[in-house]
Structure 1
């Protein structure tokens, strides 16, 4: 096969895969097509602002902090040429500027920088010597020895956001606002964390292959490099400034009856409220149906333990106002929420109540995870000015 033929075949393969990954989203229940994403599972009282000025919490222009309505994909398939697939990296990591398709949600994206996390996979039975003490009230869930796993901070192509918003929040990365309002959050649209195995790398001859307001602020086209995009000083400064609030350190995973739950907690900072310290975390959860049976998430049941000695129970319908269906065609749902404690650390664990098509139910375990604060950093930085 000639080089031109191979390139054409690669482009066709990329088109076909992208069409398959994104087209399944269009079949999701349309009654959810115009609902605004919630920012919390429970009544945390957080507000999402639409500031006109630059956000001092994350250092990004105000135009990036607008909430968007969710919309579903119109009927019919759209075939687009996005580039030519590259070989998957079995060893090593993808570099800044690597273009990719998300293997689960199908969106186009670009790698900003990697994170080296510790993955605690409870589907792997540890030796007795590796077992750790359980958090209070965890009812038999055991922590296991973590292994290093690479995740990436990425930008999502804004053209794809409407097509994936039924299955994954596109404004899940949030920051606390400044001290003037202790209950406000700011979201950065189109910023995500992606596991190494979810990256399908490709290359493109376009100088601006990804549409995102931060693309040209963070990345510079350099055709002499591979990948042909390098980090600008603004990206390096933003990463350094916001490292404590972006850092991904621990990932927790557990599977119950073919439903895999992955949890990633993030410390957001501390605020003073009514003469007390309130510590905030966000947590990202992905549910994946690893089997063939169609199921639907109906309820959540959380247990939240604080270092101060309090144990809170939270129950409710669905998650973030949704009761997602997990099928073979649409196996995954991902969302973020927030929790606060009046203590610098704690634990969370719980279950999701899942319903089968015959009306029967079963509980899926949410793996226990720690809520740890950065003791040396009491508040998010004032922000970075471009």
Structure 2
């Protein structure tokens, strides 16, 4: 699975779902109807952004999409910034590990608020997918639609006003209230088992990023596993996002099938400007590989 995000770096801002008041109050605003004024609702108290790691149970606002969420799990991945790397470090051959170059960054797996993500409309294609445990289900893919991955710098932490701070069907299964602690929620044993059983599909190992004329493309590849199948369907994604000051970010997921243990993917997004001219925004080159095969081959070389 691939998770791709396009960001207009020239116009990044909060989605209009939320406003920040004072510096300590977080206000949710929403339009009741075109003929009635916007209603404001207090949802919590703003916390200072932390340079240290956020713990599971941390409530936050997404800096770019504006939805409310809660941290479930932290993953430590390698960030490959193509604008900072030389041509030599960009090219990964079949003998090079994607764990070599790159800086360490933290990505959080989170639950999202269903009512907030619905407001994002087509800008956010959220959700996490994985293969079923039953290997006989060749063409089945499971999706948890109310989850997302968030970078550390995109988290705005806050203390919620309500006991149930977000609307999500998995909230009570995955998190336990601990009002006397900070953060006020802790993972349940069910969540720990759920993540451990699907770690192969959920873990973030690498992030690939490139900027073209102010538009940033970020890709996070995930290895979902192997299936013996004769499915020859072409991989085709058809979205037509519009990046604007009001909606400067677009995120989507895609699934790629390939019959080899190691491959590379790259490409471009073609954008049309207001004056009718086009701009090709680069998709950074990144490897697609079977980590189990790579691990086995590395052990053989060491032996």
TM-score normalised per structure 1: 0.64
User: Which residue among 256, 276, 285 is the counterpart of 1:368?
Assistant: 285
- What does residue 131 of structure 1 align with? 89
Kept in 2: contact 1:153–1:191 (CA 8 A)? yes
**Partners of 2:43 and 2:23 in 1: how far apart?**
10
- What does residue 216 of structure 1 align with? 172
Kept in 2: contact 1:120–1:144 (CA 8 A)? no
| Correspondence 1:82 to 2:43 | yes
**Partners of 1:81 and 1:205 in 2: how far apart?**
7
**Partners of 1:135 and 1:257 in 2: how far apart?**
28
- What does residue 153 of structure 1 align with? 109
- What does residue 191 of structure 1 align with? 147
Count of residues in Structure 1 that have an aligned counterpart in Structure 2: 266
- In structure 2, the CA distance between the partners of 1:328 and 1:135, relative to structure 1 (3 Å rule), is farther
Unaligned runs of 5+ in 1: 1-7, 27-72, 137-142, 279-311, 378-386
SS at match of 2:173: helix
Q: Please list, as runs of the form range in 1=range in 2, the aligned pairs for 1:213-362 lying within 5 A after superposition.
A: 213-274=169-230, 320-362=237-279
- What does residue 114 of structure 1 align with? 74
**Partners of 2:257 and 2:130 in 1: how far apart?**
13
Q: Runs of at least 4 residues of structure 1 off by over 4 A?
A: 73-76
**Partners of 1:97 and 1:256 in 2: how far apart?**
36
- What does residue 66 of structure 1 align with? none
SS at match of 1:327: coil
**Partners of 1:94 and 1:175 in 2: how far apart?**
25
Query: Which whole-Å deviations, capped at 9, do the CAs of 1:53-110 have from their partners, x for residues lacking one?
Result: xxxxxxxxxxxxxxxxxxxx965644221100100012x2001100000000000000
**Partners of 1:133 and 1:107 in 2: how far apart?**
36
- What does residue 176 of structure 1 align with? 131
**Partners of 1:147 and 1:245 in 2: how far apart?**
22
| 1:350 Cα deviation from its structure 2 partner | 0.3
| 1:164 Cα deviation from its structure 2 partner | 1.3
| 1:162 Cα deviation from its structure 2 partner | 1.1
Q: Cα RMSD (Å) of the superposition?
A: 2.8
- In structure 2, the CA distance between the partners of 1:335 and 1:74, relative to structure 1 (3 Å rule), is farther
TM-score normalised per structure 2: 0.80
> Which gives a bigger RCO, structure 1 or 2 (Cα 8 Å, sep 6+)?
2
| 1:353 Cα deviation from its structure 2 partner | 0.8
SS at match of 1:336: strand
Kept in 1: contact 2:45–2:161 (CA 8 A)? no
- What does residue 288 of structure 1 align with? none
Kept in 2: contact 1:11–1:82 (CA 8 A)? no
**Partners of 1:164 and 1:132 in 2: how far apart?**
34
SS at match of 1:207: coil
**Partners of 2:179 and 2:122 in 1: how far apart?**
36
Query: Which whole-Å deviations, capped at 9, do the CAs of 1:162-202 have from their partners, x for residues lacking one?
Result: 1013211133x111233233122111011100000000000
- What does residue 4 of structure 2 align with? none
- What does residue 122 of structure 2 align with? 166
Unaligned runs of 5+ in 2: 1-20, 295-303
Query: Which whole-Å deviations, capped at 9, do the CAs of 1:2-57 have from their partners, x for residues lacking one?
Result: xxxxxx84554x21xx54xxx7xx9xxxxxxxxxxxxxxxxxxxxxxxxxxxxxxx
